[in-house]
Structure 1
Amino acid sequence: MSTSSVSKGCFVFKPSAKKKQKTLGVEDYFIHGCEGTENSEQRFKLCQDLWDKMKTDTEVLQDELNRKILDSLLEFTRKCSSTFQRGADDWAARMRASEIPTAALVLGVNVPDHDMTFQSLSDLLQQSVTPHVASVQAKECGALKHLMQRVLERLMNTVVSVDEDDEEAEQTSTQLHKKGVHCSLSTLCDWYKTKTMKSNTDTPGKKRSSPVKDEHQQPPVVVIFKDLEAFNPRVLQDFVLICSRYVEHLPLMFIFGIATSPSTIQHMLPHSVSSLLCIELFQSLSCTQHLATVIDKLVLTPQFPFKLSGKVLQVLISIFLYHDFSVRNFIKGLQLALLEHFHSQPLSVLCCKKKEALVNVMQLSHQDLERVRQLPSFRRYVEKQEPQEQVNLLTDDTRIKEVCQKLIKSLRKYHKNYYPILRCLHTLTSSLPKYPLGKQIRELHILCLEKNVWENDEYQSAMQLLKMLAKDELVASLQRCAEILKPVKSKKMRNVLVQLEDLLAKFNQLDKASGETTANGEDISSPGKSLQKKTDLFQLQKTLLEMKESRRSKKMSQFEILRNEALEFIDGLVRCHLSPPESQTLSEVCYYSSSAVLRRHLNATPRTTIQTALSNPYHYLQNDSLRTEDGTVSNCAPDICIVYKLHLECGRLINLYDWLEAYATVVSAAEGKDPDSDDFGKVDEVKHARFIQAVSELEFLGFIKSTKQKTDHVARLTWGGC
């Protein structure tokens, strides 16, 4: 359709009867650009099923970790509610003193995780204590009227409008208007009384045998401040002062979400205000303990076939430790690694349960089998085979499928044996001085993923320290190892458990033998006892020489022999079962190792990105007219790119007029003007406005700033090029 007209106008065309464009789903985005599209749908389903299982386990785990602190808060609210309903003397004293029960919940600096905790707390409060719960955040409560508005809206479940013009009236009486009706905390009290009376009288099947008892069935009104530190102190003070005047009629309760320290309350609220609160402190589980539990349940387990390489795990842990302490973001990083693995690795179709993986092996296409042959681990495996077997593996698809099934089973056995032995080694070494193999099991796990752990100097130091352990400490550690191995369903681990129990039995027999020797009165003499006798210098020298010779020729005790035997047994288990995953054939189908991709997605570098965009706009705009040689910028580039390039040629102070003239020259060349003409490089109003806008954008990005040294200059804040 076309329309011709002499004058400009607006023309309306009815849409043609075409089919609506299909909305792309998650699966479509996954398949788009996927490596090996022939089995992409199957891989997407495997990825989704695996993540659903991991997500469910994570949510259950987080509920268990937060259960203790949430139960304590629920008990606190129930106690305050029951005390108010009974009208006890201590509560009446608090009411006369205008004290509001307040729970100071210290959650830690992992702010992204707080939303989940507060959501669980709010749900539990509404289910078991009170339906009147309001959660507020600082970003939506910049002024007192906004805070009052949010609290009333969420408690009364209605829209509350604020008169923006009447600031003075708002500060003095804090009166709001709800749908034209005078609304304040007094109105909230009236609403609350109506609500509680209605719920007490309208309860079906309930006889009103005791009107006084029914009258006091008043659930508390809980206000949750999610991020206390971010609130305006003045707004918070005024809100507490206003609420303290209504506590005799309204059972208010506060919950303060604190990220730093409980002393924040004293810093934000003066004593005259904090004295109106009856504060009780609650401390949540530290985020590092939370992370250790998540890694233990999601990473250090053979339950999930998907695994992380040492570098990838190190990236996720580094982001956690040095950026946000957020377990939630760690789990998101794990989800991204899972998605990237199934999206970029066509053979991830084998990253599933053993039975399903064995079936999928037999369904691999010839192209997939060629991908298997190109795997570094499989090529190493082929090189170790006989010549005829090598030919069969490289040419016969049926034979390679049979071998792949055996290798998948072997990989599953490796994981079943790896994690119990890893836990045993961590149990033995986590209490050693200076923690040579790390204090946390994740540190030991990363060491084992990178290379043979027994080749590290730290491992040798740990074994030397273990040889110095006392009998009680060694036996206790070996007993903990036996407890780790008992629930493991593996033939090798059952055999290891039997051998470990035999060693423990020998230690017990040694204790009995030493006890019998002591009971029979046998004295273990030592050369040092002769030093206690009165002797001369010659006799002392002779005795010392005898002691030195006896130490050289001293035989090992039964305990030392048994201790060495136990440590050699542990060392053999480490060398047998803690080899790195790279030594296992087909490990690539389960292990995600692209740490650079993960770091680029999760650990953004905004400064590098901005400098790349300004110095090389073609990188993002993909316009052929912007393609230039390295170190240069096209005169057709955006104004800010031209201004940025020109400012790189200046020193610490930049003359704005010279900068403007240089910019006008470049823009004139872009417009195709003749360099010899009088208008070339001339500054007009349009160029001047464009230049000022580009300079303002550079100042906003932090490349320059105004300076008082010279009025017509700006100071440069960065050095170096792109």
Structure 2
Amino acid sequence: MESTPPEEVYIDEFDPKEHQGCYIFTLDGEEDRPTKRRKTKGKQRATEKAAVEEEKCLFPVLLDGKETESTLKLRYRTYCKLWEAQEKRTKAILDSFNSKTLGDVSAFVKDAAPEKFEGKIPTALVLAGPNIASHELLFEQLAQRIRNQDRTGPVVVLTSKDATSLKTTLRKLIRDATQQDEGVDDEEDIARKVGGVDEDPQRSSLLTRSQSTKLLNYDLQILQTWCRSHAGQKVTIAIQDSEAFDSNVLSDLITLFGSYLDRIPFVLLVGIATSVEIFHDKLPKSTIRLMRGNKFDVERAEECLAQIFNDSITSDKAVLRLGASVCDFLLERYRDHTQSIQTFVGALKYAYMSHFYANPLSIILGFIDNPDGLGEVLSTEHVEAIRNVPSFRRYVEGKLAAKEVGEVRKLLADDNYVRHTVAEKILESRNYGIELGQALAFLEIGRSCTLAQNKTPRYELYAKALSGELQTGPSIREFLMSLKRMSSTALLNLLENVMQEVPIPAITEPLKPLQEKIKKLVEEAAASGGKKTLISEFDITNNTLRGTAVSKKVRLGEQKSSLTKQDTEYSALVQQVYAIAESYLTVNFNSSQHGLQNVLLHEIFFYDLRSPHSAVFAPKPRSTIERGLSRPQDYLDCSCCTSGDGEEVGIRGTQPPASIIYQLYLESGALINIYDLWSAFYSVIAGDEEEFDAQTAQALFYRSLAEMRFLGFVKHTKKKTDHIAKLAWKGI
């Protein structure tokens, strides 16, 4: 059998776009040709685009259809404004993430040359960690940095799905490398083309030889020709997931790079999720000898998640925050399923959209900086919706318990007074979130300094603080107990971090004098020739092996008597620091007095609806499909499939054909006779009509049966030729 010859190309006729198609899409019914527009500048086009998007409001009308058009557009503009600000800050965090690694790898690529590496392939081993989801972002940032900012040459990112064989890998490598400068000509090249003269004789001879050279599309000589016409450019090959690569393909690829290194300046970036030793064991020693370079460590993805979470949820810049249940759901999904920063950011954006999409009171978030203008926007329907909010009801009940009857009467009867009250209380509602974030920052810094091995990030403490579990949990108790046992060096380090990271008067003003006193005690101890580190009397350890209570008391008394005067004074200062920290944390995390349920209108500032996220980000397709086939009226909203009182009536001919087949399918056994199924289907769909078109019914039957097979409910069986096998049972 004659084999098909491999695909061949001519170098001078190589067109990277020849495989791409061009399509023209025209909408039906559009006969009028749009008017031509005058070309405008970039800023004008951006302004026009923003105006069009602003006019196109995608939110529904709420308040039972009584929401005005102005408040509807205001709600949409507020969503766009707040998310745009949050997205800008998040993008800045993502761009700055791995900045040290990006700078080190970029400098390595700039200085890479075979002469500096003993004629070997310059290789950067990027230890990206086990979080595979974050590797794509890292290598995308590396490619943009090397290609756009450093301009050292093309960057080709290879993944395991691109490397099914050596030929496939080389095709992608050559195509991507030669296309990255597509459409860009140097001014000197343009001048030579126009003048018809090429001043480079080597290049002229190369092009002359290439006109008659026939090469395969996976031959590296194509890339070699490109490199000769782009002198000084390096070809950077980034292998994103080396563990998933076929070892033979990867070994052959590196061997080819080594053989062409004197003609093509390759630089290799290898992403490693495990360790360098495992990477070495995967490749032959002969392949390992072809590479020389350095290894670079990457920051953990959890640190990037912590930065994004702190900025979007607990910082003073955040306006809309997540509730406890939604926060737990997103973090649990991140840890157990996705481990992707981009997925978490997408879920955060969905929370913003869901809050503004379905909550008419979300327009209040647009008046944080100007609460005086809120009264003009809130209509009578908005005021009535505010009165139905659970936090407003608790607020009125609290006033009633305090016997402020006049205040209660105004809140329930006077709309203008409600508008005035809301305008006064929105700043207090937002300040609750800010104060909570500051308290969490203080607790996180304290635990990191006292419990370095048991460090808990802020996003782990946030949901517990909102639900009231943090006060009764071990996190605060462990921190306070460790605080009393801290040495002077550790305590001064803690106080310095608190002054820098949490600059709030409630905690810095009482701690600042104590910090100065501790520094003075340390200086006095060092000046008197004593020890430079003071210890607390609470840090006395019990080293005796005797277990009686009397012996332990004797040992503790001996250790206390060995404390110096400075140690005793330092112990008193530690006790004061302990009292300040305990009071501050108790006030901010006391759920009964300072809990979220006591904050007026917290439903507007905290989004805590878990069901929309569960339905979108953790869908249940099987139960949804089964419900759609067994109860089509739930989705079609039709009255023909239910009785007059709204109860189900079983199988009807008015239901969709696939639904009829599925309900008959549920009543059958493991093997289904196709003729019996057809007879039952025809009797249902024909009903009482004696002259029902059998061909139409048969076409609907075969189409519905094909849909059932496509959904995986049935398959053909060899046991009986006229039967089909049942593959799934409802609810199992």
State the TM-score, normalizing by the size of structure 1.
0.73
Alignment of 1:20-99 (within 5 A): 25=53, 28=56, 30-33=58-61, 36-38=67-69, 39-80=71-112, 83-84=113-114, 88=115, 91=117, 93-94=118-119, 99=120
Whether 1:443 aligns to 2:460 is: yes
Give the % identical residues: 21
Q: Please state whether the residue corresponding to 1:566 is helix, strand or coil.
A: helix
Q: Which amino acid aligns with 1:124?
A: R
The alpha-carbon deviation at position 719 of structure 1 amounts to 4.9
1:23-422 alignment runs, 5 A limit: 25=53, 28=56, 30-33=58-61, 36-38=67-69, 39-80=71-112, 83-84=113-114, 88=115, 91=117, 93-94=118-119, 99-108=120-129, 110-126=131-147, 127-139=149-161, 142-157=164-179, 182=215, 184-196=219-231, 218-229=232-243, 231=245, 235-259=249-273, 265=279, 269-278=283-292, 280-352=294-366, 354-385=368-399, 386-422=404-440
Per-residue deviation, residues 590-622 of structure 1 (Å, max 9, x unmatched): 111112112222222223223323333344455
**CA separation in 2, counterparts of 1:546 and 1:497?**
38
Partners of 2:659 and 2:276 in 1: CA distance: 48
Which letter does structure 2 place at the counterpart of 1:403?
T
1:192 and 1:544, CA in 2 relative to 1: closer, same or farther beyond 3 A?
Answer: closer
| Aligned mates of 1:423, 1:343 — CA distance in 2 | 31
Change beyond 3 A, Cα 1:290–1:476: same
Secondary structure at 1:255's aligned position in 2? strand
Comparing 252-261 with 291-300, which one deviates more in the overlay? Answer: 252-261
Is contact 1:61–1:294 with CA below 8 Å preserved after alignment? yes
Q: Aligned partner of 2:300: which letter?
A: S
More moved, 248-257 vs 612-621: 612-621
Q: Report the CA distance between 1:329 and its aligned residue.
A: 0.9
Write the letter of the residue equivalent to 1:377: S
- 1:560 shift after superposition: 5.8
Q: Select between 25-34 and 397-406 the one with higher mean Cα deviation.
A: 25-34
How far does the alpha carbon of each residue in 1:619-674 deviate from its partner, in whole angstroms, 9 at most, with x for none? 445555555866955456556545544554566xx2243xx244223212123267
The whole-number CA distance in structure 1 between the counterparts of 2:320 and 2:702 is 56
Equivalent pair of 1:485/1:497 in contact (CA under 8 Å)? no
Matching residue within 457, 461, 474 for 1:458: 474
Change (3 A) 1:282 1:475: closer
User: In structure 1, what is the Cα distance between the partners aligned to 2:328 and 2:111?
Assistant: 45
In 2: Cα distance, 1:180 partner to 1:614 partner:
62
Question: 1:369-425: CA deviations, max 9, x gaps?
Answer: 222233222232233342112222333333333322321232344344332222222
CA RMSD of aligned residues (A): 4.6
| Structure 2: distance between partners of 1:69 and 1:549 | 51
Q: Alpha-carbon deviations, 1:424-449, whole Å to 9, x = none?
A: 2233345667999x722222221111
Contact 1:159 1:178 in 2 (8 A): no
Count of residue pairs the alignment pairs up = 622
Measured in 2, the distance between the counterparts of 1:640 and 1:547 equals 85
**Alpha-carbon spacing, 1:707–1:230, altered in 2? closer, same or farther (3 Å):** farther
Contact 1:311 1:595 in 2 (8 A): yes
Asked whether the equivalents of residues 121 and 292 of structure 2 are also in contact (C-alpha less than 8 Å), the reply is yes
Q: Distance in 1 between matches of 2:513 and 2:408?
A: 44
**Structure 1's 570 and 634: CA in aligned 2 closer, same or farther, altered over 3 A?**
farther
> Contact conserved, 2:314 with 2:434, CA < 8 A, in 1?
no
Instruction: Give the match for residue 588 of structure 1.
Output: 603
Q: CA deviation at 1:321?
A: 0.7
Q: Cα distance 1:364–1:178, how it changes in 2: closer, same or farther (>3 A)?
A: farther
Aligned partners of 1:179, 1:32: CA distance in 2, in Å? 65
Query: How many Å separate the matches in 2 of 1:557 and 1:463?
Result: 22
Give the TM-score normalised by structure 2: 0.72
Shift of 1:323: 0.9
In structure 1, what residue type is equivalent to 2:706? Q
Shift of 1:294: 1.3
For 2:451 and 2:723, how far apart are their aligned partners in 1? Answer: 60
Instruction: Report the Cα distance in structure 1 between the residues aligned to 2:417 and 2:242, rounded to whole angstroms.
Output: 65
Secondary structure at the aligned position of 1:614 is classed as helix
The amino acid of 2:620's aligned partner reads T
- Quick one: which of 554, 557, 566 aligns to 2:577? 566
Distance in 1 between the 2:684 and 2:549 partners?
Answer: 101
Cα distance in 2, alignment partners of residues 548 and 232 from structure 1: 65
Residue 32 of structure 1 aligns to a residue in which SS? coil
SS at 2:262 equivalent = coil
Mapped partners of 2:554, 2:98: distance in 1: 61
Which amino acid is the alignment partner of residue 508 of structure 2? L
How far apart are residue 693 of structure 1 and its match?
2.9
CA separation in 2, counterparts of 1:147 and 1:481? 51
Mark the CA change 1:690 to 1:588 in structure 2 (over 3 Å): closer, same or farther.
closer
Provide the rounded CA distance (Å) in 2 between the counterparts of 1:300 and 1:545. Answer: 46
Equivalence for 1:469? 485
User: C-alpha deviations, 1:518-567, integer Å up to 9, x for none?
Assistant: 98xxxxxxxxxxxx9xxxxxxxx99979969999xx9x976665544433
Contact 2:236–2:268 under 8 Å retained in 1: yes
2: CA distance, partners of 1:367 / 1:72: 59
The separation in 1 between residues aligned to 2:245 and 2:553, in whole angstroms, is 78
Q: CA deviation at 1:281?
A: 3.2
Which of 502, 509, 512 is matched with 1:501 structurally? 512
User: 1:331 Cα shift?
Assistant: 0.8
2:731 is aligned with what amino acid?
G
What is the aligned partner in structure 1 of residue 709 from structure 2? 696
Q: Which runs of 5+ in 2 are unaligned?
A: 1-27, 36-48, 183-209, 531-543, 562-566
Asked if residue 665 in structure 1 is aligned to residue 679 in structure 2, the reply is: yes
* Paired position in structure 2 for 1:425: 443
Match of 2:622 among 586, 607, 612: 607
Q: Provide structure 1 residue ranges, at least 5 long, that are not aligned to the other structure.
A: 1-13, 161-176, 197-217, 520-531, 533-540
Tell me, what secondary structure is at the counterpart of 1:147?
A: helix
SS of the residue corresponding to residue 314 of structure 2 reads coil
Distance 2:282 2:552 in 1: 73
Q: 1:105 to 1:430 in 2, by over 3 A?
A: closer
Distance 1:276-1:467 versus aligned 2 partners, 3 A rule:
closer
* CA drift at 1:70: 0.9
Please state whether the residue corresponding to 1:102 is helix, strand or coil. Answer: strand
- Residues 132-165 of structure 1: per-residue CA shift (max 9 Å, x gap): 22334454554444433332222222999xxxxx
Task: After TM superposition, give the deviation of residue 484 of structure 1 in Å.
Answer: 4.4
Q: Name the residue aligned to 1:165.
A: none
Structure 2 distance, partners of 1:74, 1:246, is: 23
Query: Does the 8 A contact of 1:27 with 1:44 survive in 2?
Result: no
